[in-house]
Structure 1
Amino acid sequence: MKKAELTSLTEKYIAGTASGEERLKLESWYNNQLNQNTLASEKQIDEEEQVKVGEKIFNKINQEIEQYEKKRPNRYFYRLAVAASLIAVLGFGWFILSERTDLKKIDKSASLIKPGGNKAFLTLVDGTKINLDQALNGTIAKQEGIQITKTADGQLVYTVLENKSALAKPGFNTISTPAGGQYQVTLPDGTKVWLNAISSLKYPTAFTGKYRVVELTGEGYFEVAKNKNKPFKLKTSKQEISVLGTHFNVSAYADDAEIKTTLVEGGVAVKNFSPLATGLLKPGQQAVFHNTGFKVSNVDVEEYIAWKNGFFMFNNEGIKEAMQKLARWYDVDIEYVGDFDGIYFGGSFSKHNNLQETLKILESTDKFKFKIEGRRIKILK
């Protein structure tokens, strides 16, 4: 990033006028500095300049937290190590954190628990199961006129061969991610899907018939290829979503009390099976389904698609909901020792941190601490 662009983005960020895309770009830039373990990788931006930018963002976030706490005095909205150095100071703020947090508090065994990555299993029509993490790049299978390719950047791409034979009833493939896994797949119609951890997508090898129908468990982000003559339908255990061509996110984990459908672009029609209810979403809206029905509200979509872009993003989220997301990504179990109701926090940080780095950020609130036992995390007050 050039110095002029960094300055412009920072000014917008501080003023509160940056768009979601601009905020994410600035956050990603800082995150990249952390991943490279340096603050001076940009030739046009010296370390002193980066530190100044980091300080500005740090101060801005703290101001926002203080204002929020005044408005909501009855809820705990804790500062996560520099209030979410979490968001933008992942380059500079990490060093602030190291000064404020006793690194010895977190069991060193946590450093051995690495973040998740591109891991998934593909089950073919004949039941063959392929470990995509171990499969070589290139063509990994051909079936029913379809070529399946694994790309170098960890994606699965379906290509319809020209001489494909017509089939009345195509078979189904299923791609599933384990705890600590994620994967991207391009379906035969060109639709792109990102799967989060502990999720699966079942889809036909060819979309025949009136609709393009797929089935999801867990969480997925969809960029649906447009085809007005063949609507796209996504089914979960409790709902159905119909679209023509759009971008949206669905979180439908079996162990979550709610199913959340968030629309980024286009339009979707959502139908809940039980109780029966339907609704239409516009960009920037979210439908939340629960046992008694659903409600539609306006949301910041960046919060709900951050996982796809390499971040955890929390906005006044309960500790148990937030820790559940971390558990899925780091493949760990969570145990609570004490009452943690009423504890909320906000901020964003990289999914590429190892567990020790992430827990250091959380523990710096001084409101709870962690004890690591193998892959079990005990949270204590």
Structure 2
Amino acid sequence: MKDKTIPARLIYRKIEGRLSAVEEERFETWLKEGREHREYYERMRSMYQQENIQEVAIGKIQDAWEMFEKRVQGRLRMKRKRYWMWGVSVAASVVVVFCLIIYYHSDTGQDVNIAVQNIVPGQYNAILEMADGATYHLGGHQGSLQEKTGRQIKIDTSLVSYLPVDDKQETPKEIVYNKLSIPRGGEYRIELEDGTKIWMNSESRLRYPVAFFNDTREVYLEGEAYFEVQRDANRPFIVHAGEQKVTVLGTSFGISCYASEVNDYTTLVSGKVKVDFERGKQSFVLEPGMQVAYDKKSGIATERKVDVAEFVAWKNGKYVFKQKRLEDILSTLSRWYDFEVFYQNEDVKESLFSGELRRFDDFNYLLRLIERTSDVKFIIDKKVVRVMK
């Protein structure tokens, strides 16, 4: 399967000549997949190499962007028909964008370089906390670690994996837990000893056994993750997430249980799961395409049919929003792009938008798409986004 996306940091590292052999191979594969990829890379390289980049006021940035758009309007008109646009009717895909700097040649003949903003996409990043207190910062590293118990842990650029238990190894007297924490603006993957694969989203934590020895496999989640559970009919897999207790045998599903959010969600992609809530003694058995939404304030859980892509597409490098409140959209994006939001008008939070974007899209470009289909305006000041009408 062709990889249609590439992390922005790889393009940045390529321009600076700092790619590893593995990264270089990935970059070359992406580059050969289409002429638009090569054109995009050459444009970014050209922009990056411009000198004397200067900071300018917000108003000048807006003026520069408008001029830049007018100058390329004709050339991009046909391409834009293939892009996903924001609004009630949305139907295409926004290309990967890495442009943090916009360069244009003004009508006066002067070359002007504009530093647009400091809000950039996240990257592979995680902190591994061992049971013995040792802490390791992961992300972009490769190698291996060894537990005091003797068990091996493999570290890849975006994945930490625990090797299967050797039958000859002695069963420990107690279960040993590690914890994987994903900071704001990060993502990472983990493969547990039993073969279960987990995609971890920003601002999330997973507490899990180094190896499973009991008649159940239990982990503890805070935040958001996508699970592909290795089937084992004799040992159910149980996820404790907020008020939810999700029990599975072998299936794919997503869980969102951020402490700052009003609702917790469990969304089933394939297989079957049972979701129990101690508060209210509620219990649900989900079929594929179904979701349980739990209102933490009222303690009431409801089951509904959903488009699962809207809730789990992030693990494939995309965000899908369908008639989503602006406040919810910006809350989701803030974890990945790492910014704060200030609303000048409370009612603007209720504005609804639909759209699809890639996790490495340029943030400024994304906000301008929203502006074009509404009366909402944004001003970016370092890591703060001001929202107004």
Give 3-state SS (helix, strand or coil) of 2:199's partner: strand
Q: Which residue of 2 aligns with 1:159?
A: 163
C-alpha contact (below 8 Å) 2:96/2:360 kept by paired residues: no
2:35 and 2:221 map into 1 onto residues whose CA distance is 34
Q: 2:134 aligned with 1:133, yes or no?
A: no
The match for 2:39 is: 38
Give the superposition deviation at 1:54. Answer: 6.3
CA contact (8 A) 2:165 2:211 kept: no
Aligned equivalents of 1:253, 1:279: Cα separation in 2: 21
Instruction: For residue 38 of structure 1, give the secondary structure of its aligned residue in structure 2.
Output: helix
Percent identity, aligned pairs only, is 31
Q: Summarize deviations over 1:28-49 as a string: whole Å, max 9, x none.
A: x9xx8699363799xxxxxxxx
Offset of residue 306 of structure 1: 1.0
Cα distance, 1:251 vs structure 2: 0.5
Matches within 5 A, 1:285-296: 285-290=290-295, 291-296=298-303
- Alignment-derived partner of residue 185 in structure 2: 180
Matched to 1:168, the amino acid is K
Which consecutive residues of structure 2, in runs of 5 or more, have no partner in the other structure?
A: 3-29, 43-75, 100-113
**TM-score (normalizing by structure 2):** 0.72
Deviations 1:265-312 (A, max 9, x none): 000000012122101000010111112311111111111111101111
- Is the alpha carbon distance of 1:355 and 1:343 closer, same or farther for their aligned partners in structure 2, counting shifts above 3 Å? same
DSSP 3-state at the match of 1:303: helix
Partner of 1:74: none
Q: Distance in 2 between matches of 1:375 and 1:39?
A: 26
What residue is the counterpart of 1:119 in the other structure?
A: 125
Q: Give CA deviations for 1:188-221 in whole Å, capped at 9, x if unaligned.
A: 1100000100001000111121210000000000
Q: How far does residue 169 in structure 1 lie from its aligned partner after superposition? A: 0.7
Matched, 1:298 2:298: no
| 3-state SS of 2:39 partner | coil
By how many angstroms is 1:372 displaced? 1.7
Aligned-pair CA distance for 1:341? 4.4
Alignment deviations for residues 156-202 of structure 1 (CA, whole Å, 9 cap, x no partner): 11103535331021211000101100100000110000010000100
Deviations 1:237-284 (A, max 9, x none): 211000000000001000111111000000000001212210100001
Question: Are positions 1:349 and 2:357 aligned together?
Answer: yes
> In the alignment, what sits opposite 1:71?
none
1:91 deviates by: 7.7
The equivalent residue for 1:12 is: none
The structure with the largest helix share of the pair is: 1
Question: Could you say what secondary structure the match of 1:254 adopts?
Answer: coil
The answer on 1:282 being equivalent to 2:290 is: no
Cα RMSD (Å) of the superposition? 3.0
Is the contact made by 2:324 and 2:354 (CA closer than 8 Å) also made in structure 1?
yes
Query: Could you tell me whether the CA contact under 8 Å between 2:121 and 2:185 is conserved in 1?
Result: yes
Instruction: Report deviation, 1:137.
Output: 0.5
- Could you list the runs of 4 or more consecutive aligned residues of structure 1 that deviate by over 4 angstroms after TM superposition? 32-35, 50-54
Matched, 1:222 2:223: no
> Which structure has more RCO (C-alpha within 8 Å, separation ≥ 6)?
1
Shift of 1:223: 0.1
Deviation track 1:9-40 (CA, whole Å, cap 9, x = no partner) reads xxxxxxxxxxxxxxxxxxxx9xx869936379
Distance 1:242 1:184, change over 3 A: same
Tell me the CA shift for residue 52 of structure 1. 6.8
